[in-house]
Structure 1
Amino acid sequence: MSDWMVTQRPNAGRRPRALSPLREHLRDTFWFAPTAAMVSVFVVWVGARALDTAVVEALQDDRDYDTLDELLRFAEDAKAVVSTVSSAMMTFIGVVFSISLVAVQMASGQFTPRVVRLFVRSRITKATFAVFLATFVLTLLVLTSFDTTDDPRAVTTVPLVQSVLTLCMVALSLLLFVLYVNTTLRLMRISHVITRIAAESFRVATSMPVPAGGPDAARLGAATAWVPHEGRAGVLRDVNIARLVRVARKHGVVLRLIPRIGDFVVPGTPVLAVHGGPAPSRRALRYTISVGVERTYHQDLGFGLRQLSDIALRALSPAINDPTTAVQALDRIVQFLAALGRRPLDAALHRDRRGAVRLVQPVPGWTQLVDLGFTEVRGCATGSPQVSRRMLAGLDDLLMLVPPERREPLLRHRELLRQAVDRSGPAPADRAFALRPDRQGIG
């Protein structure tokens, strides 16, 4: 069966959202949330300053100078508080930044450098930095609103609303700081890191098109045109599915993505094959292919397995020698493969509103996913009975769950593991112990 003979349509009948790649790219950046927060707090401050000015003008119109005098005395106390908060926020920002650097350094050294993305994508971390910076900017803006005159008749504004807003931001900052420390400590624990990786992997699998009947997409025929990659060299991070589907429908063709998400592409190599007509113009295909320096979870079905395998390999290295961590990674590898055991793979077909296939996106096949999850870990498992026992138990579980046509790669890995243990085991009793399946390794 060819790579594009499985007919699929978007999950739950939803079409891909046009801003999906942009949203994912912004999640991989650290500048967007703080910048948006500082711009937003400036807008809020303008509104709060207008309210304070309106309050002062209303009191002056009513000649309520006693109330104005009380507000001026309040402003003196509020100015001292705001000044203290302004200095404290810079200290808080430095503490948060230091904690983040230490956590990232420890995680990349103990687990794998690819888990640094978990810290970058952490919503709590971004929210903490954003609120801290916004609070600091707000205190500077509020300090400019304090009037130097003590005459109630000449005062133009008293930052009453602004001061209350500053105190609310301080309270929010303290709450986020507690949540940030808790989240960072969790991310420094390998079990939570593995769980996060698995959750992201399942999110990608869930977003893939689900099976749908219909023979209309069984064969595409020969390609009528090719679209080369004209951007910079790098890893194919994702494609704008909604835009490609729209372009293909407009030109009456079917587009087939040639490299898989996560492949390294160089300028001049074909990235799209066109079936059924001429190639769309370069302008129509602009901003549909995203290339970066590293892989991302978005649309990359194998990236989660790659990270789990890396964590297990790092744990089994002589420098770390932590087979329990490798067993935890194998737990999630088996879970992920079990979830995909009966799903059609090899290709994802995206349809337009009328149900016609417009984009064929290659995804890893079952054999490729099994090899990615087990091959490298199996090579390092011979010296650790805990890992070999857990891998055998996982392979046995998968053999019970998958259909018969998908058992061959599992049986192959099981036999290769048995042969490797037979060659490395010093005694028959040790070999027999290492080849006894156990879901906990050695309990």
Structure 2
Amino acid sequence: MTKGKGYRRPRALSPLREHLRDTFWFAPTAAMVLVFALWAGAAELDAALIGALQDHQQYDEVTELIRLADDAKPVISTVSSAMMTFIGVVFSISLVAVQMASGQFTPRVVRIFMRSRITKLTFAVFLATFTLTLLVLTSFESDAQAHLVTTVPFLQSVLTLLMVALSLFLFIAYVNSTLRLMRVGYVIDRITGESLRVIDKMPRGDVDARELGPAIGRVGYVGRAGVLRDVNIARLVRAAQRQGVVLRLIPRLGDFVVPGTPLLAVHGGEEGRAPSRGALRYTVSVGVERTFHQDLGFGLRQLCDIALRALSAAINDPTTAVQCLDRIVQLLSALADRPLGAVGHPDGDGVVRLVQDVPDWSDVVDLAFAEVRMCAVGSPQVTRRIMAGLDDLLRIAPASRHQPLVRQRELLARAVSLAVPDETERAFALEPDRQGIG
């Protein structure tokens, strides 16, 4: 079994990078360390500047610097006392916004807030500004009358004022970003954009797993329980090449695995040729939640969750469900003519050494429509949008992929006919409309 030259191996997920993206401590800590280094450098420059002026007996310039620094001291003191209160108020509001968004959309969208670069940058700059003001306030030591100057934090004061200006600018950007993240349209667009990037980078599924033959062995998962987020394809391919076998990844990305779960099936070669535990070390990455990295279904899962939450009796927002269906149809359109199923990863000679199972066309269609269809029976706006979306996909997808779409269409028509006894209302609910009801 060989692979064509157009193959592009997916990039491995960095566990450290994912950890830093999912945490809030790294950026503020790094910013405070950096601002301490900047303050130390500015203090050295201030000392050198004052020393040079005194050596040349330019006492008028020294006095002017002292005056400017003293004028800045009240401002720095005010900023220092107000900054922590400001930080507390701003981020308390942020926590309320995150709670509202997770309740209205889905808890899965909290990751968007956690990974927001502008949020982390704003928090980091706010804390760095507060730290800098404390450091600068300790540097105000001078005697202008005797021209005996130990330190005049002129450059430090300028640096503090620049940090204050940057904090104000980032606060405006942060408020704008937070308000955007609370808009359902923007959240849905973010999810769709990330899903499309996954589709663009995903290898084409053009391997028939039935050609592998019977498995000669299996390798169980060893490690902590969690969601399978990534596999290191390069290491698995090298391990299989050394043993002259083909490995098949049994769980899909996004599956929850526990110690002992069958992880890899070994095909080809002789009995007992499975790679050793040492060769398979650090080949899988497990976490507490799914990521978009190589996970084709995660974006559809989030869009369906938002649509289901919108269709619940507590929220009753069918228009949001229609917005989700718009994007679901967009994603399925991008997958309509793409080979799906098992993906083969070759070695340097072009021989497939790792087979990875990904959702096929029937799987993604069921994920996209099954749950939303069952909850949408009482909402003609949503049923009309589903019918229009299925009709559009039937026109876009090749004939070999029509069966799952036709099945979803028939199931929706049957459910509506059972729930809506009036023939006129039933015909209205099943009429295709891309806007639902305008």
TM-score, normalization by structure 2: 0.91
Deviations 1:225-266 (A, max 9, x none): 433222111111223344444555566654432211111101
Q: Which residue of 2 aligns with 1:81?
A: 75
2:315 aligned residue (281, 301, 320) = 320
Q: Which residue of 2 aligns with 1:56?
A: 50
- How many residue pairs were aligned? 435
Deviations 1:101-159 (A, max 9, x none): 11111111111111111111112111111111121122222223332555776434322
Q: Which residue of 2 aligns with 1:27?
A: 21
Q: CA deviation at 1:96?
A: 2.3
Deviations 1:39-83 (A, max 9, x none): 222222222222222212222332323322222222222222211
CA change 1:18–1:382 in 2 (3 A) is closer
Q: Which residue of 2 aligns with 1:390?
A: 385
Determine if contact 1:10/1:16 at 8 Å carries over to the other structure. Answer: no
Residue correspondence of structure 1 range 210-225 to structure 2 within 5 A: 210=204, 219-225=211-217
1:271 aligned residue (252, 263, 274) = 263
Bigger Cα displacement from structure 2, 131-140 vs 148-157 = 148-157
CA change 1:208–1:314 in 2 (3 A) is same
**Are residues 1:70 and 2:67 paired?**
no
**Are residues 1:207 and 2:197 paired?**
no
Determine if contact 1:16/1:242 at 8 Å carries over to the other structure. Answer: no
CA change 1:95–1:245 in 2 (3 A) is farther
**Are residues 1:299 and 2:294 paired?**
yes
Q: Distance in 2 between matches of 1:106 and 1:370?
A: 30
Which protein, 1 or 2, shows the higher relative CO under an 8 Å CA cutoff with sep ≥ 6?
1
The AA in structure 2 aligned to 1:273 is: A
Q: Which residue of 2 aligns with 1:401?
A: 396
Q: Secondary structure at the match of 2:259?
A: coil
Determine if contact 2:217/2:274 at 8 Å carries over to the other structure. Answer: yes
Q: Which residue of 2 aligns with 1:176?
A: 170
Identity of matched residues, %: 71
Q: CA RMSD in A?
A: 2.7
**Are residues 1:411 and 2:406 paired?**
yes
Bigger Cα displacement from structure 2, 267-276 vs 333-342 = 267-276
1:40 aligned residue (18, 34, 53) = 34
**Are residues 1:228 and 2:220 paired?**
yes
CA change 1:216–1:318 in 2 (3 A) is closer
Deviations 1:191-230 (A, max 9, x none): 1111111111112112212478xx9999444445433222
2:430 aligned residue (435, 438, 443) = 435
Q: CA deviation at 1:281?
A: 4.2
Q: Distance in 1 between matches of 2:55 and 2:242?
A: 64
Bigger Cα displacement from structure 2, 335-344 vs 269-278 = 269-278
**Are residues 1:99 and 2:99 paired?**
no
Determine if contact 1:21/1:240 at 8 Å carries over to the other structure. Answer: no
CA change 1:309–1:71 in 2 (3 A) is same
The AA in structure 1 aligned to 2:179 is: L
1:259 aligned residue (251, 272, 277) = 251
Q: CA deviation at 1:437?
A: 0.5
CA change 1:269–1:217 in 2 (3 A) is closer
Q: Secondary structure at the match of 2:57?
A: coil
2:329 aligned residue (306, 330, 334) = 334
Determine if contact 1:52/1:161 at 8 Å carries over to the other structure. Answer: yes
CA change 1:430–1:129 in 2 (3 A) is same
Deviations 1:138-192 (A, max 9, x none): 2222223332555776434322222222122111111111111111111111111
Determine if contact 2:13/2:293 at 8 Å carries over to the other structure. Answer: no
Bigger Cα displacement from structure 2, 275-284 vs 25-34 = 275-284
Unpaired runs of 5+ residues, structure 2, are none
Determine if contact 2:321/2:382 at 8 Å carries over to the other structure. Answer: yes
CA change 1:354–1:33 in 2 (3 A) is farther
Determine if contact 1:112/1:310 at 8 Å carries over to the other structure. Answer: yes
CA change 1:428–1:269 in 2 (3 A) is same
